[in-house]
Structure 1
């Protein structure tokens, strides 16, 4: 969504809100304090966002592809680098795999019935923020949990395996019999089996549609995801399931770290979403309508059920959705209290003399873009490197024009976010920012369609938006909501066709004007815990990032949690446990892989001596 449009949308919702106001389970052996209580940490892992991927009873009954072991088996889930855990309700679900149990009577895709007398509050499993933003690091026999850090998860592999399991369950009679018996235990009748088969087919068909839309020959590997691509394609399907244009989700990025994001003017690597905080003079708490919009878009991409009506309703009616606004507000407010991780005492001690040398180098060469932070309240202005001069904003009155320094890093995340389009379908005629902006044409930018969908979902939940704002204003932070318990055909990605002429899109991105055609620099507090580096995870450690791009490794192993403290990043040693995948900037023929470039972020790197690079790395351990 465009920043100006997003601000109009969120400003309208904020005005409504203002009118109402006149957090085997393996605990880290070396726990890290980041300012949360144990209860808040558990809420972070378990709270719903309204994400609904699959009914819990179905997921618990599914078997792994090709064998009869449970899909949720710890070893299987850990293979995707999700973190096994036992919930407070006693369920064995990975970190961030959250239950949702809202009333589904007004929903659509997830309003499934598979047994007679079934109620409308069946438990579903989806994901929340922590599935993608919880890191675990090991060193010298110690395990460190970093909340808000980038996961190593292989989301692409997980979804493929889930889809394959669904497909095999539907096609194998013995497998189906075991699945149906487990799901319908106590209610296993011919009628219920028929109902289950029909509902199961509906879920598989939806998964198949998403697979078709997101298909790409590019493998993400561990620790990367094209979240924008998946969100955009989800919006395209919601708008026009038959007419949607598939846009390959082929620009994966490293999962960003979340501490301090409330202090930034804009978030996302391309600075596409504005924060818009309102501080209560009564309670001292913060309600951020911009963050709510951003998180609503995230939930839409990660399995929310959104109902866009065939006929356009009155503007304030909005769209029915499963997005849990009040829980999202609670999660965001808790995130505002998350402290950056400190260099662990279990790691080798920092060389203070060398770090002091690095600090002077950092202040002279890096701090103008990566502004320092000393607390959790200071606001940080934007530092954005644009792809082209046309996108550079005009100088403020009385200030000299800024010289544009293109980032030179892989452009595809920002370029796809700017250039992707699809049939607007049911969204045709809606305004691009829902409450304002131009009407969406027959084929529209997906950035505008996402903005419209987010606006419609929030308008549909306006009572919850107002209630969350009023509660924050009067009583302070909210507690997120935690629930407890009371067919896609798999196809090889390697043969998927390229759908768009990439070069034409790139030419547009390098010449046209847009405030999202660039990448944002941000404070590096806690950066030691956030490798691999660059926005697309193409550089293994901080030392490599300080080399000239042509000297950086073109390929390295990923998948281990073992930390390498000298150069600061995960170990790339082939012998390190879990290093089963190879990230590469080039293919087998030596051709560059779009989306995987490790170029850029070269601000005089070649002028640094070896000693200076090591000093800078040592200092960044302290940030």
Structure 2
């Protein structure tokens, strides 16, 4: 009897094991099939020109033919998949973007028409399999919780183009650069978007036309009132975003203070009602007079239903209440609003060039100041932070305490309540995009278009590069799969370039919300956050919370399987391992745990010819100008120096100076006398900046500068 029972138990265990094994095999088989299907799907778009189209009579009179591509390791389907893969960005309801008109009363032109897209230097695209509505490059349709949105992809900011006319044949070329820096004026475009929505609400004819066109699309809106209500909500949201991020430094083309704006989005969603109330009550003008009374503060905050997380929509209502002139409301002026804005947010006044993307997956540290360690799950966290900045929907809300991976990762394990970091951010796509970038190579100088290089100059320039550049900018083989690109850091005092971006990353603080009294790790040790905390710490904590939260728009089982797979892939497939930063930088200390960020990195210069303008803030228009001193000194014979002002916006390539045309066409004016725009520092070729080892170099003469440029074209 006992033996029979034991045998039965053994059989039962054996059957259960078999069932478990079969279940595991089935799950992994489904995942494997899904991966194969995803890989096949990735190659479905084979548009002949990768969607690129010619533009006639473009902005600044800059017409160009259908762009061509260089060999960067990607075929047509690779580029088109990168352009059109969603990452969870939700700038605007999709139908709104398709139907909005320009703000001028008499205009019926669509905001998305080629002329406006080209005006803001985004790249127009043809219709294709992944882009059936012919959206601009880097704009994509995404769906979240059943609603369609238009959002940004990585490609919007990280796809470049240069135009060139052969002087001998007069043949015109346009060259698309995958992973290259965009020329986009994102701020100008978003201001135009706000103006378009505002004008639509205020003009009956425009509004009627807009509502009719949206309803004809039959895509989720039931009636006129439904459309108008949503338009009012999104107009207020965009108005709020633009006001919060208003800067005293004009960005213009080819630049964005991405981190400043990411910081502000995090602060807006971390802020809780208690801290908001206290800050509003303490806000005062320059005379020391309070701006708001207690009664006004109560009215301003009356629409906040979640005291733990105010969030995007409720914050927009706070802004509306602050501006309201109804009885009892404060009806604040713009100056008074600016004072309140500065209580909660930081001015994003350190715009930088959009960085190029080749070699990013092979780099040990990324971002201009080496902020992001690229090892382990670092790339996933970095990309999550990026989507937070480009309008990912952050459905953060309070939840009761309990077992929570996101709470553990973000330091909230003991909090009551905790933040649930649900969002529209697509972790799986971010991982796939990162994998795609592993195969992207830098563009080589196209001799078939620009002409052959002078080998004698190249040989002379190679010697100069070895002496003046190579100690920081190592030479790498673009075809070496195992390459590791080392970020050689130079502290602000030694490199001498504009300090604003690096200093903001260290000095900016904000209200900590539910992260108050939480423990957060830094390279110098664990810190405890007070009510006013470093935004760098808040961004890291919030990013960890999002990384620890599975995608909301998937069924339960798939949601968690994908989450586990993404984390496992990040750990085991990432070839970059944790390492100490290279170079000369201030060490982090317990008193100053972020001081190592007061530096800028030097990376390899392969493909550098296609990435103008130069320096981290785009303050130098060409490589030739970069080899000059920042200031002229006629008394000492220094007659040639970097331009103090220049225009930005043209894509016309200057193959002699290696940069873009920068005068005489009406682009945005870059004034290097403004803090944040300084063009000083990195004057090695001018003999004004010593090498990291302290060696002082002689200034190069004109011939030597052109020899060095000739060699740099080969990188």
TM-score class, shorter: 0.7 to 0.9
Report the alpha carbon displacement of residue 468 of structure 1 after superposing the two structures with TM.
2.8
Q: Residue 43 of structure 1 is aligned with which of 71, 76, 81?
A: 81
Q: Structure 2: 5+ residue runs without aligned partners? A: 1-30, 33-41, 43-50, 55-65, 166-171, 272-314, 319-339, 407-419, 552-559, 576-591, 632-640, 688-698
Query: Quick one: distance in 1 between partners of 2:373 and 2:243?
Result: 31
In the alignment, which residue of structure 1 is the partner of 2:370? 271
Q: Residue 704 of structure 2 is aligned with which of 609, 612, 615?
A: 612
Query: Quick one: distance in 2 between partners of 1:604 and 1:558?
Result: 24
Is residue 361 from structure 1 mapped to residue 464 from structure 2 by the alignment?
yes
Tell me the TM-score normalized by structure 1. Answer: 0.78
In the alignment, which residue of structure 1 is the partner of 2:91? 53
In the alignment, which residue of structure 1 is the partner of 2:505? 417
Query: Quick one: distance in 2 between partners of 1:415 and 1:229?
Result: 11
Tell me, what secondary structure is at the counterpart of 1:515?
Answer: helix
Assess, with a 3 A threshold, how the Cα gap between structure 1 residues 419 and 311 changes in structure 2: closer, same or farther: farther
Q: For residues 1-150 of structure 1, what are the structure 2 equivalents within 5 Å?
A: 25-26=52-53, 28-66=66-104, 67-86=107-126, 87-88=128-129, 89-102=131-144, 104=145, 120=146, 122-140=147-165, 141-150=172-181
User: C-alpha offsets along residues 312-353 of structure 1, whole Å, 9 cap, x if unaligned?
Assistant: 644414510111000001111111100100001211221111
Query: Quick one: distance in 1 between partners of 2:573 and 2:382?
Result: 24
In the alignment, which residue of structure 1 is the partner of 2:714? 622
Assess, with a 3 A threshold, how the Cα gap between structure 1 residues 170 and 595 changes in structure 2: closer, same or farther: same
Query: Quick one: distance in 2 between partners of 1:95 and 1:476?
Result: 28
Choose between structure 1 and 2 for higher RCO, CA contacts under 8 A separated by at least 6 residues: 1
Q: For residues 358-507 of structure 1, what are the structure 2 equivalents within 5 Å?
A: 358-374=461-477, 375-387=480-492, 406-432=494-520, 437-461=526-550, 463=560, 464-469=562-567
Query: Quick one: distance in 1 between partners of 2:401 and 2:467?
Result: 56
In the alignment, which residue of structure 1 is the partner of 2:209? 178
Tell me, what secondary structure is at the counterpart of 2:69?
Answer: coil
Verify the 8 A CA contact 1:226 1:250 in the aligned structure 2.
Answer: yes
Report the alpha carbon displacement of residue 189 of structure 1 after superposing the two structures with TM.
12
Verify the 8 A CA contact 2:156 2:182 in the aligned structure 1.
Answer: yes
Report the alpha carbon displacement of residue 471 of structure 1 after superposing the two structures with TM.
6.7
Verify the 8 A CA contact 1:238 1:307 in the aligned structure 2.
Answer: no
In the alignment, which residue of structure 1 is the partner of 2:356? 257
Tell me the TM-score normalized by structure 2. Answer: 0.68
Verify the 8 A CA contact 1:430 1:452 in the aligned structure 2.
Answer: no
Q: Residue 231 of structure 1 is aligned with which of 246, 259, 262?
A: 262
Verify the 8 A CA contact 2:628 2:685 in the aligned structure 1.
Answer: no
Tell me, what secondary structure is at the counterpart of 2:520?
Answer: coil
User: C-alpha offsets along residues 82-124 of structure 1, whole Å, 9 cap, x if unaligned?
Assistant: 000024242121110022123x2xxxxxxxxxxxxxxx2x221
User: C-alpha offsets along residues 226-261 of structure 1, whole Å, 9 cap, x if unaligned?
Assistant: 101110111111112468712111110011111011
Which is higher, the Rg of structure 1 or of structure 2? 2
Verify the 8 A CA contact 2:512 2:529 in the aligned structure 1.
Answer: yes
Q: Between Structure 1 and Structure 2, how many residues are aligned? A: 515
Is residue 558 from structure 1 mapped to residue 648 from structure 2 by the alignment?
yes
Verify the 8 A CA contact 1:84 1:94 in the aligned structure 2.
Answer: yes
Assess, with a 3 A threshold, how the Cα gap between structure 1 residues 58 and 437 changes in structure 2: closer, same or farther: farther
Verify the 8 A CA contact 1:308 1:427 in the aligned structure 2.
Answer: no
Is residue 596 from structure 1 mapped to residue 701 from structure 2 by the alignment?
no
Assess, with a 3 A threshold, how the Cα gap between structure 1 residues 384 and 290 changes in structure 2: closer, same or farther: same
Q: Residue 297 of structure 1 is aligned with which of 376, 379, 385?
A: 385
Report the alpha carbon displacement of residue 467 of structure 1 after superposing the two structures with TM.
2.0
Query: Quick one: distance in 2 between partners of 1:29 and 1:42?
Result: 14
Report the alpha carbon displacement of residue 604 of structure 1 after superposing the two structures with TM.
4.8
Query: Quick one: distance in 2 between partners of 1:433 and 1:182?
Result: 51
Report the alpha carbon displacement of residue 379 of structure 1 after superposing the two structures with TM.
1.4
Verify the 8 A CA contact 1:370 1:524 in the aligned structure 2.
Answer: yes
Tell me, what secondary structure is at the counterpart of 2:405?
Answer: helix
Query: Quick one: distance in 1 between partners of 2:452 and 2:669?
Result: 30
Query: Quick one: distance in 2 between partners of 1:65 and 1:49?
Result: 29
Q: Residue 455 of structure 2 is aligned with which of 343, 346, 352?
A: 352
Verify the 8 A CA contact 2:510 2:535 in the aligned structure 1.
Answer: yes
Verify the 8 A CA contact 1:84 1:95 in the aligned structure 2.
Answer: yes
Verify the 8 A CA contact 2:627 2:685 in the aligned structure 1.
Answer: no
Verify the 8 A CA contact 2:89 2:393 in the aligned structure 1.
Answer: yes
Q: Residue 345 of structure 2 is aligned with which of 215, 240, 246?
A: 246
Assess, with a 3 A threshold, how the Cα gap between structure 1 residues 187 and 267 changes in structure 2: closer, same or farther: closer
User: C-alpha offsets along residues 50-74 of structure 1, whole Å, 9 cap, x if unaligned?
Assistant: 1111111011110012122111101
Assess, with a 3 A threshold, how the Cα gap between structure 1 residues 599 and 57 changes in structure 2: closer, same or farther: same
In the alignment, which residue of structure 2 is the partner of 1:583? 670
Verify the 8 A CA contact 2:366 2:487 in the aligned structure 1.
Answer: no
Report the alpha carbon displacement of residue 290 of structure 1 after superposing the two structures with TM.
0.9
Report the alpha carbon displacement of residue 469 of structure 1 after superposing the two structures with TM.
4.8
Assess, with a 3 A threshold, how the Cα gap between structure 1 residues 261 and 312 changes in structure 2: closer, same or farther: farther
Assess, with a 3 A threshold, how the Cα gap between structure 1 residues 206 and 188 changes in structure 2: closer, same or farther: closer
Q: Structure 1: 5+ residue runs without aligned partners? A: 1-19, 105-119, 278-288, 389-405, 478-510, 586-591
In the alignment, which residue of structure 1 is the partner of 2:14? none
Report the alpha carbon displacement of residue 381 of structure 1 after superposing the two structures with TM.
3.0
Tell me, what secondary structure is at the counterpart of 2:441?
Answer: coil
Compare 254-263 and 462-471 and name the one that shifted more: 462-471
Query: Quick one: distance in 2 between partners of 1:475 and 1:517?
Result: 31
